[in-house]
Structure 1
Amino acid sequence: KSPAREDSPLNPFANIIGLKQAKQALIYAAAGNLPLLLYGPPGTGKTLLLSRVASLLPPLDSAAQQQISAMHGRPVEKRPVFSIPLGMRQADLAKGVVPELCKAHEGALIVDELSHQRPNIRTTLASVMDTHTFGGYPLRTLVVCATNACSCANLGSLEGICRCSEIQIDKFWSKLGHPLLDRFAMALALTSENLLVSEVNTTTIDYERIEYVRTMQMSRSEQEILSLLPLYTKVFRGSQQSFRRSYLCCKVARTIADFEGKESVTQAIMEKAQQLYLLPKDRHYH
């Protein structure tokens, strides 16, 4: 069992009951630097999980420390975490000699209440996830976001009643924008859990494995991921996904295989990767 790092709690998920799939998705996100979207009604643990992202990231090497310290204008020893609060404007992200948003470089970019963010903030987010740059500076960062699943916020709730029609739900997600949604590698629904029957056992976190897989992903070429497309096509024959969506699914599958110590991606792993990206229209709530 790998020892916990000094800059992390013994287990970031120690006091979070249930949410097993979401916890595992966060670990994959940290290991593969894969953008993740969590959605669901209030009280399901979205914001709580976002607060634990920084604890999953591996330590910085000396070269990254020097680069980040130069961008921040001060010594930086831990991976930075930058959150975009509600009401922040595009100009706020770009202010400074080195843009404020670039403080998330080599760390994590956290965006809660994604549906309530300004449209140009969401547009910027999509651009960053695509280019890994902002304002002429590098911005390689783990993007993790959270949002409600409908306008009334009750979709997926065991307590509240969602009265949104299918058209209203589609309109809500259209507001978030297909270009942004298409750039998330994983999208998971969090629903209210019965705490009396939820799994109490904590999720084991292997920090050394996260760091190893992260290094592996950085060394893998785009061609290696593209080579998985025939398997993706075979497994999901007839699915109408964009090329980006197919590519990201292959990237998630490769991350899972590396995390599990598998040399090749199997059909079961590809199917598992696909199940980590399901929007409301795929879940048939109504």
Structure 2
Amino acid sequence: MSLAIIHSRALVGVEAPAVTVEAHLANGLPSLTLVGLPETSVKESKDRVRSAILNAGFDFPARRITLNLAPADLPKDGGRFDLAIALGILAASGQLPGEALDDLECLGELALSGALRPVQGVLPAALAARASGRTLVVPRANAEEASLASGLKVLAVDHLLELAGHLNGSAPLAAYQARGLPQQPTPYPDLAEVQGQLAAKRALLVAAAGAHNLLLSGPPGTGKTLLASRLPGLLPPLTEAEALEVAAIHSVASQTPLEAWPQRPFRTPHHSASGPALVGGGSRPQPGEITLAHHGVLFLDELPEFDRKVLEVLREPLETGHIVIARARDRVRFPARFQLVAAMNPCPCGYLRDPGGRCRCTPEQVQRYRAKLSGPLLDRIDLHITVARETTSLEASGEPAQTSASVAARVAAARQRQLARQGCTNAALDLPGLRQHCPLRTADRHWLEQACERLGLSLRATHRLLKVARTLADLDEQETIARPHLAEALQYRPGLGA
């Protein structure tokens, strides 16, 4: 057989499009031509594959070899196609049976000795291979990650000779058996460890129940970071589909996806982070912090210290749940359905309205500091909470502490009501869903319209206020939104008591 076809997978964003590796041997002077829009690292695979084949004890055909990576318009990079290219050459030259390769998809970088090295982005390829119904061949170091795709047959290989023995029937390989993954390897910090701050804890409950964005404002040392770090522990566990999405993103970003399986991400980028670091980018687009926080929490501490241009790029993903990175050759779409929690000081020194009178900021300085945050961005944050300084006491108060477990139970019940009613969280309601699931009595509607007009709230802010009121009604197990729910939701908008 002078023509062989091998199946593999490329990596574009968090997707793994199919790539067919075609190997053809023809008479003529010995040469090897690689076509199909390969990047430099793929072109270098010719030398790696040649050495791997010879060192594995096979003959490298002294013929004119043409390798085509189809489709031709899909950019291809990395060493992930080495194994498929080597198998194609061996099958085309008759050293391996070509029919045994029809139901396989192969990924792996070859060492000069013929050993297989791990590659990144295996989990998206595993999910795509499962959908196609083929068996996935990966280096052994990637096998545990690939096994996250339940129902997929995975062959873990250490060396090219090992796979050759399986294909010619002399030493068949058994399907890889996963070692089993922990369901919750690291417990989240408990809300009971936070002293006082009852209003802020109530806001955390509302934010978790409806997947709302939250802004905490207050002097240094009042517990803003402490409160934010407790939010992931209040959220419902990830579903299997959500956990696979999160793991696939971390696989693409060259981070081990098994370290926190299946926990919700909690990302805390520093305020010096650039735009590409936050939203993703690069010549070969990579996911940024907002994508790494997909189905989790993105915590931005010292929010006004971020560059304003960096913060403005958050506006689109906060609305759509994804970000599109455009480059000259292609456009890559990354998921970014995250919950934003931000913290800031009330003024540059942080002690505005402090009872000790430590603040020396002028009104102009305070105004300039707050002007770093644009109105459209603040509109997209549903809950604005002032975290006041508590009295200094090292003894626990007599009030029973709210544990994360007890609050999480209320959150789960509220989320269940939302999913049963509308199929999504309240924060994700679109305009038709808002009209259908957030009806108001005539008197309450007129009252809300007057209040929003008096506070100068935009239409977007009004819609988000309604979503918060819907969450408050769900926490109270009420089918309709009442006046107290609207009044509490109004308290979470900026401008009241500022």
Report the TM-score range of the alignment, normalised by the length of the smaller protein: 0.7 to 0.9
The 2-side partners of 1:22 and 1:219 are apart by 21
Match of 2:463 among 243, 247, 272: 247
2:494 aligns to what? 278
1:54 aligns to what? 232
Query: CA offsets per residue over residues 100-121 of structure 1, 9 Å max, x none?
Result: 2201101111110101112222
Larger Rg computed on CA atoms: 2
Query: CA offsets per residue over residues 121-171 of structure 1, 9 Å max, x none?
Result: 211223321222123222111110000111221114233432334443233
Counterparts in 2 of 1:97 and 1:171: CA distance versus 1, 3 Å:
closer
TM-score normalized with structure 2 length:
0.52
Q: Kindly indicate whether residue 396 of structure 2 is the aligned counterpart of residue 182 of structure 1.
A: no
Q: CA RMSD in A?
A: 2.5
Q: Give the residue type in structure 2 aligned to 1:44.
A: T
The 2-side partners of 1:69 and 1:18 are apart by 36
The 2-side partners of 1:80 and 1:15 are apart by 21
1:211 aligns to what? 412
Q: Kindly indicate whether residue 314 of structure 2 is the aligned counterpart of residue 115 of structure 1.
A: no
2:288 aligns to what? 100
Q: For the Cα contact (< 8 Å) 1:108–1:143, is it kept in 2?
A: yes
The 2-side partners of 1:165 and 1:283 are apart by 19
- Alpha-carbon shift at residue 86 of structure 1 (Å): 2.2
Q: For the Cα contact (< 8 Å) 2:218–2:386, is it kept in 1?
A: yes
Point out where structure 2 has 5 or more consecutive residues left out of the alignment.
Answer: 1-183, 252-256, 325-332
Q: Kindly indicate whether residue 434 of structure 2 is the aligned counterpart of residue 225 of structure 1.
A: yes
1:260 aligns to what? 476
Point out where structure 1 has 5 or more consecutive residues left out of the alignment.
Answer: none
Q: Kindly indicate whether residue 251 of structure 2 is the aligned counterpart of residue 79 of structure 1.
A: no
Which gives a bigger RCO, structure 1 or 2 (Cα 8 Å, sep 6+)?
A: 1
Counterparts in 2 of 1:256 and 1:150: CA distance versus 1, 3 Å:
same
TM-score normalized with structure 1 length:
0.87
% identity of equivalent residues: 30
Q: For the Cα contact (< 8 Å) 2:216–2:386, is it kept in 1?
A: yes
Q: Kindly indicate whether residue 217 of structure 2 is the aligned counterpart of residue 32 of structure 1.
A: no
Q: Give the residue type in structure 1 aligned to 2:407.
A: D
The 1-side partners of 2:187 and 2:487 are apart by 32
Query: CA offsets per residue over residues 40-86 of structure 1, 9 Å max, x none?
Result: 11111111112212211211111111222222213431111111212
Q: For the Cα contact (< 8 Å) 1:18–1:200, is it kept in 2?
A: no
The structure whose residues are more often helix, as a share, is 1
Q: Give the residue type in structure 1 aligned to 2:447.
A: K
- Alpha-carbon shift at residue 236 of structure 1 (Å): 5.1
SS where residue 283 of structure 1 aligns? coil
Q: Kindly indicate whether residue 401 of structure 2 is the aligned counterpart of residue 202 of structure 1.
A: yes
The 2-side partners of 1:142 and 1:232 are apart by 28
2:100 aligns to what? none
The 1-side partners of 2:398 and 2:492 are apart by 19
Q: For the Cα contact (< 8 Å) 1:20–1:203, is it kept in 2?
A: no
The 1-side partners of 2:203 and 2:360 are apart by 29
SS where residue 206 of structure 2 aligns? helix
The 2-side partners of 1:260 and 1:24 are apart by 13
Extract structure 1 runs of 4+ deviating beyond 6 A. none
- Alpha-carbon shift at residue 7 of structure 1 (Å): 5.6
1:269 aligns to what? 485
SS where residue 225 of structure 2 aligns? helix
